[in-house]
Each structure stands twice: as C-alpha cells, then as structure tokens.
Homo-oligomer: A and B are copies of this chain.
Amino acid sequence: MNQFNKEIKSIDCNNFWQHRRYAGAPREECGVFGVYGHEDAANLTYFGLYALQHRGQESAGIVASDTRNIYEYKAMGLVSEVFQESRLKALKGHLAVGHVRYSTTGSSVLQNAQPFCVNHAGCTLAVAHNGNLVNAHQIRVELENQGSIFQTTMDSEIIIHLLAKSWRKGIEDAICDTMGLIKGAYSVVLLTDTALIGFRDPLGFRPLCIGKMDNGAYVLASETCALDLIQAKFVRDVERGEVVVIDENGLRSFTAVQAPRRANCIFEYIYFARPDSNIFGRNVYAFRKALGAALTREITVDADFVMPFPDSGNYAAVGYAQAARMPLELAVIRNHYVGRTFIQPSQSMRDFGVRIKLNPVKDTIRGKKVVIMEDSIIRGTTSRTRVKAIRDAGAKEISMLVSCPPTKFPCFYGIDFSTKGELIASKKSVEEIREFLGLDALHYLSIDAMVKASGADSDRFCMACFDGQYPTDINEHVGKFSLE
C-alpha cells in the first residue's frame, strides 16, 4: 500500500550519519539563509549557516549565482566540515542561498541535502525549505501520473516541480500557484539567476526574517542570530503568506495566500531557537526566563539550589532562580571536546553516553536538596540518566521542573518527534513519569501559565504538541501513522 517504502539507498562514506545522534532530543529540521547584493554572498551565507547550525547538523549546502553561472556545493556534515576555503571561493557571485538540515522527510543521504537546484528551460532555480508539507505525498502521486520524475523524497523538489508547471506565467505567478497548492509549514528561500525570493506559509509556523547590511545588501534568515554574526540589521519578519522578491530593483513584496489565524510554533521558543535570537517578534532568552519565572507562581520547592543541565535548561533556570530567590549552581560540567562520534567503551560502563559529555561536581551536590530545570521532556530517557547521575553524586533530594507542559502529540510541521510512541507524556501520567525518571518530585508548567508567560493570546501559537489541536488538515499523516 505504501509505494514509497522501496527507497533508493545512496551509500555514503559518512554513513555514521545514518544513525540518529542525540536520540532523546527533538530535532529541528532546517535553517535557511539567503543574501542578495554582496560580492561575498557565499562567504556571508557560510557564516549565516554557521549561526543557524543548531537547526540542522546533518547536511549543509550553498548555491550561489553571478548571473552567468550557478555554483553549488552540498555535503553531509556540519558547516565547518563541509566548506573548506577553496570550495567557498569557488561559489562566486553576489547572490546566494544556503541550507542546513536535519531530515524529517527523506532519508539521511546526500541526495536529500538542500538547496535543491535545477536547470530548467535555460533558467536556474535553487530552493531551500524549512518546515514540512502535509500534502506532499498526494501532490507527488499526481505529478508522477503526468510523467514527472523525482530525484529525491524532499518537499523542496515538490515545490520545484510545481514552479516548473506554471513556469510560463513568470516566477511570481508560479509562486502564487504553488502556494495555493501546498499545505503545511514552509519558510522558503529561493534563488533564481537574478533574484532572491523568500516566502512563508499563511499560518506562519516557522520563522523567517529580513535583514539589511551596511552596503544595502538584503538578507533572509531563519533567525536573527544569523544577522548578528554578519552584522546585518534586523528589518522585519517576512509576514505569513507573504512573498518577498529581492533583485536589482530592491525589495518588493505581496501577499500570495491568507489565513484567518496565525500558528507560530511555540516550541521554537521553548527549545529550538537560539536564546540570542528574536523570533515572531520576541526575544527567546527573555521568553525562557519568563517560563522559568512562571514556574514559581505554580509551585514552591524546598531546595538548596536550582541547576540546569547545560545548556538545555540554562535560561529557565536563571529566570526561576531570580524569581524564587534560590541560588543557581552550574553544577554539571560540560566536556567541550566531545567529538560528534565517539568510540563506545568495550566494557559495560553505566550511563556512559551522558557522562562523557557531562560530569556533575560531586562536592557541590553531595547531601543537598536539588532542583533540576529541564526545558522539555521528549522520550524521558535522557532526563532519567541525568537524574541518576545527580543521585550518584550524592544529592539528598531531587525535584525536576519542566518549563513547558507535557509533550503529548506528534508534530507534522517539521519537528521530528516522529510518532506518538516516542513521547513519554503521551503514554504516562505525570506521576508515572516522575517514577520513571526516579525523581522525588516533578512539575510541568501548565498550558495556561505558558500562554500567560508569553504575554500573547493562545491563538497566536501552534501548540499542537501539547494540546493536539492541529491548525491544518493532517489526513495524509494520520493515515500514515495509523498504519504503524
């Protein structure tokens, strides 16, 4: 019934990539970046991707144009691994787009790296996409029935095919047609031979912002931290449903599709985005501190100090410590030299995976009542190991505070919680989770308190992972999940 399970497996030399790293953490799918009007466009894109690396560590790619030629380089790996100086220099031109990726659709192989680039009817198109289309499968089947051939399993290729179908109308109308057909979450950056274009879905799931450099060059980026690094000034967000076209005539924009409400992903604030970024109009660090402070209004804990595990709960812990007037201790030390892969111990070593990265300061913890601050709990396995490490270090009592509500529902808009089965809160009560984690006490922030801390109305956010209210039709996905 599922005609796609016969997949082409491209065997890559970097095949350790095919094993998921950081097993317990949710994975963001992508970061996108583009620049128009700067002679070092590819170089700036490299740095933009560097700043967005937290949004995807699996592959990186840049496509640049000097209007006469298009230059492309993509590979598996981190930005710093993928681009050597000579390669970057070969990516010439004043116009470039880039992409970092952690796969949610498509398998973890080079052919699925983005930007996706084609030479069509004498013109070039390169698409970099953040998000997840919920009707991709249906569109693909229709296109294949018309004889179209697909190279990858990526949403970006769907977008390219739809653009090609309306090609003769011109690029702007082709984008309007395409946005009328695709559904779900998409923040897209698109390079043509002569223009940089950005567009965002009408509900505004994923962030996308506009920046400007001193020389007048325009920048599009998933987060403002990318603007900071290259010293571009923040101009504004790309609006939901908006298309922004940047070319030799400057920036112009129009609204292609509209929706009655917005649905900003609140998990971007809680976990994904960098704390130094401002997204959807608000600073992430401040948001996280507010979540930590909100916890003090819901619960009082008797403890000697609050401590984060670096760096996940850092900022909520700072907010909590200040609001609760409780000492903050950075009582877990991170080994900054842990490579992305490491050799497993040949003997059995308990809790090895966590200890190689993080070691508690036993002298600080021994005999104390400790509050651990977590930003979220997905599968629970990582938190469980952490609690055990603190227990082994001699803590007398361990409470855990979580700066968001229980994560109960899968995300179909680009976050890889994958299936309900992996979400501990979809199967267990808070009390059962407390027991599973080996805690003396456990408290999650409530949905109401979270919304209140945000200072905005609840219909501003997509909170489907907490409340199961999906802002779009998800029939295609529901069918897929019911099979499993």
Contact = CB atoms under 8 A, between A and B. Distances in A.
Contacts of A285: 331, 333, 361, 363-364
A3 B121 contact: yes
Interface string A153-194: 000000011001101000000000000000000000000010
Given A328-B318, A330-B315, A144 B121 contact: yes
A230 interface: yes
Given A40-B347, A346-B43, A336 B149 contact: no
A18 to B, nearest CB: 10
Given A83-B343, A346-B43, A228 B359 contact: yes
Interface stretch (A84-92, A235-243, A443-451): A84-92
A318 B330 contact: yes
Contacts of A418: none
A46 interface: yes
A72 B8 contact: yes
Interface string A33-70: 00000111001101100110110010000000000111
Given A118-B149, A119-B150, A167-B147, A6 B124 contact: yes
A9 interface: yes
Interface string A335-353: 1111101110111011000
B144 A11 contact: no
Nearest to A2: B122
Contact of A6 (B53, B119, B342): B119
A335 B120 contact: no
A463 interface: no
B70 A9 contact: yes
A385 interface: no
A359 B151 contact: no
A117 interface: yes
A123 B5 CA distance: 10
B72 A341 contact: no
Contact of A343 (B46, B151, B347): B46
A286 to B, nearest CB: 6
Given A11-B73, A13-B87, A4 B274 contact: no
A81 interface: yes
Interface string A1-40: 0011011111101010000000000000000000000111
Contacts of A161: 147, 149
Interface of A: 3-4, 6-11, 13, 15, 38-40, 43-44, 46-47, 50-51, 53-54, 57, 68-73, 78-81, 83-85, 87-88, 90-91, 117-124, 141, 144-151, 160-161, 164-165, 167, 193, 225, 228-231, 274-276, 278, 283, 285-286, 311, 314-315, 318, 321-322, 327-331, 333-339, 341-343, 345-347, 349-350, 355-356, 359-364
28 contacts: A6-B119, A6-B193, A8-B70, A8-B118, A8-B119, A8-B124, A9-B72, A10-B73, A11-B72, A15-B90, A39-B347, A44-B347, A50-B337, A50-B356, A51-B335, A81-B339, A85-B343, A121-B141, A146-B147, A148-B149, A228-B362, A229-B359, A274-B333, A274-B359, A275-B333, A285-B331, A286-B364, A318-B328
5 closest Cβ pairs, A-B complex = A80-B339, A3-B122, A53-B337, A283-B363, A276-B333
Given A38-B347, A120-B150, 14 more contacts: A11-B72, A46-B343, A50-B335, A50-B337, A51-B335, A53-B337, A147-B148, A148-B149, A225-B333, A225-B359, A228-B362, A276-B362, A285-B363, A315-B330
